[in-house]
Amino acid sequence: MKKIKDHSLYLIISEEYGRGRSALEIAKSAIAGGIDIIQLREKKKSEEEILKTGKELLALCKKNKVTFIMNDDPYLAKKAGADGVHMGEEDVKKHPLAETRRIIGSDKIIGLSTHSIKKVKEASPGDIDYIAFGPIFPTTIKDYSIGTKDIKKVLEITEKPIFFIGGIDISNIGEILKLGGKNIAVIRGISQADDITEATKKFKEKIYQRRKG
């Protein structure tokens, strides 16, 4: 089973944020820059389209030893053969974690979105492999942000890997890393870059410098 390693950079791919580039193009460029984990997150496409793209991305990720996650639907993730599934708080109402684990299998990764200290506390004992926490900074994808004030607390209350997400770019990633954050998830900060490979390298360098420090 693939385990989540600390100091990981996680790219969530939605073609709507890719400036006309396909999910496969975005993924190839990010892999060239050293991305660790890729998630396919397509909210506006059919299951058939998502499954087709998922299988293509899985093949690419396997070849390059990158972990591949699909969003929202454990059945679809299983069909595609993905390394795991990422569940939002609404998704868990539809497929509770015990059911998600049964569907996807004991050897697969389950990630869960959280937006508060309370939700992290509730999630931590569960059968999940990592927790996403955010949105830290303002973002067009969510209509609120929670700031950096709880980062230290979140890291104290769980041993599960935490991925900080939401409006993170090269100018503000340092604020999270200084507070002890090790794992970063990005959407637009990489997908909307002119040069996706170069943007990925810059994020990785920041994370690497903090690990060394």
pLDDT at 180: 96
Per-residue pLDDT, averaged over 181-185, amounts to 97
The whole-chain average pLDDT of the chain stands at 95
The set of residues, in sequence order, having a beta carbon less than 8 Å from that of 60 and lying 6+ positions away, is: 24, 27, 28, 31, 66
Domain coordinates in residue numbering, the chain: 9-212
151 pLDDT higher than 70: yes
Q: What is 9-212's CATH number?
A: 3.20.20.70
158 pLDDT higher than 60: yes
213 pLDDT higher than 90: no
pLDDT at 2: 64
List the single range of 40-44, 64-68, 143-147, 162-166 with lowest mean pLDDT.
143-147
- Tokens describing residue 46: 């059919």
What pLDDT digit, counting tens, does each position of 44-100 carry?
Answer: 999 999 999 999 999 999 999 999 999 999 999 999 999 999 999 889 999 999 999
Q: What is the DSSP string of 194-206?
A: SSHHHHHHHHHHH
1 pLDDT higher than 70: no
187 pLDDT higher than 80: yes
What pLDDT digit, counting tens, does each position of 107-125 carry?
Answer: 999 999 999 999 999 999 9
DSSP secondary structure letter of residue 141: S
Q: What is the DSSP string of 85-135?
A: EEE-HHHHHHS-HHHHHHHH-TTSEEEEEE-SHHHHHHHTTSS-SEEEE--
- Residue type, position 120, single letter: V
pLDDT at 139: 85
* Residue 150 near residue 105 (C-beta atoms within 8 A): no
